[in-house]
Each structure stands twice: as C-alpha cells, then as structure tokens.
C-alpha cells in the first residue's frame, strides 16, 4: 500500500447483525489489532466518510437507512461488507424480513466472509478498500480534469 493523500474516514453501520461481527470490528480498533495505524479515523458522519463498513444482512428496516447513508457519502467512496450475513444474508437469508446481502441495495466493493469475520480478515478488507479508494480518487480527479477542459460536469464515479 502506497502513501495516502489523506486519512480515510470510516463509518461502521450494523444492518441487522447478531453483533458478532460488530464485536470483531470493535476489536480492530483496540491496541491489539490497531486499525488506526493505517491513518483511519472512525466517524459517525456519512458526509465525512470515505469507507462504509457494514455488518449484517439488509432487512426491511435497515434498507432505507443504508441507502440514505450511501447517498450522503461523498464520491469517491468504498463499501466493505463484513461477515457472511453482509455478503449474502448468511444464516438469516431465508428469514421473512431479510432481503439478502448489502449488495441487494447498494454497490459493494469488498467482501469479507466469515461468521464472525475475524479482525485480521476485516483489516485485510479495509487495506484493500484503502487501495481501491486511492484508485477511485485518481480516476475521479482525471474525470474532473477532462470534464473541466471540455466544460462538462462530472457526476460521482458510482452514480
């Protein structure tokens, strides 16, 4: 992983998890795993977030919230699905109120399987997300440059 242009801000949202994966996400922030060594700042504000980390499948209550959070995040952004429930719906997939994994409602960039996902796997997913975010930023900047030369408007890379 190369040098980052700025500290990435990370937003963690629980779609409908059993809390198992959320405990592992919390473990990543402790000195043992220390995810902040990558310069990451944990935020509760979608308007400031670059990376959305979601645990749990999507149910009828969380669907609109997840869509809203995603739409409020500035472009470019990266979504990481943590745990098999967030990846596919997992063991809750056939429940009456579960739609499925996160990608049933918003685009997902990185999938971290596991039940629960281990902190090492979560950190690996976040490091991949950081590399993808840098690539998206470069692509986005190139699009903006080319659009400004042509007098056009650039919409988000994910829109």
Residue 91 in contact with ligand SF4, rule: CB under 6 A: yes
Residue 21 in contact with ligand SF4, rule: CB under 6 A: yes
Q: Which long-range contacts (CB under 8 A, 24 or more apart) does 67-70 make?
A: 67/105, 67/106, 69/11, 69/13, 70/46, 70/106
Q: How far is the CB of 109 from ligand SF4 (least distance, A)?
A: 18
Contact assessment for residue 1 and residue 58, using Cβ atoms and an 8 Å cutoff? no
Select 69 or 81, whichever has its Cβ closest to ligand SF4: 81
Residue 20 in contact with ligand SF4, rule: CB under 6 A: yes
Select 25 or 78, whichever has its Cβ closest to ligand SF4: 25
Residue 156 in contact with ligand SF4, rule: CB under 6 A: no
The tokens describing 32, both together, are 């043992």
- CA proximity to 107, closest of 128, 135, 81: 81
Residue 88 in contact with ligand SF4, rule: CB under 6 A: no
Q: Give me the residues that bind ligand SF4 (CB under 6 A), please.
A: 17-18, 20-21, 55-56, 83-85, 90-91, 115-116
């Amino acid at each position: 992983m190369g040098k980052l242009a700025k500290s990435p801000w990370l937003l963690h949202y629980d779609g409908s998890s059993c809390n198992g994966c959320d405990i592992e996400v919390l473990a990543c922030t402790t000195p043992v795993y220390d995810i902040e060594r990558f310069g990451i700042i944990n935020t509760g504000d979608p308007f400031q977030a670059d990376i959305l980390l979601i645990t749990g499948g999507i149910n009828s209550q969380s669907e609109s919230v997840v869509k809203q959070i995603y739409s409020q995040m500035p472009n470019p952004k990266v979504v990481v699905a943590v745990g098999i429930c967030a990846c596919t719906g997992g063991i809750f997939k056939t429940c009456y109120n579960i739609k499925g994994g996160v990608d049933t409602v918003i685009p997902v960039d990185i999938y971290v399987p596991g039940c629960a996902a281990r902190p090492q796997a979560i950190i690996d997913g976040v490091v991949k997300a950081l590399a993808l975010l840098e690539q998206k930023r470069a692509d986005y900047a190139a699009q903006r440059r080319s659009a400004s030369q042509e007098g056009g408007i650039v919409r988000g890379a994910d829109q």
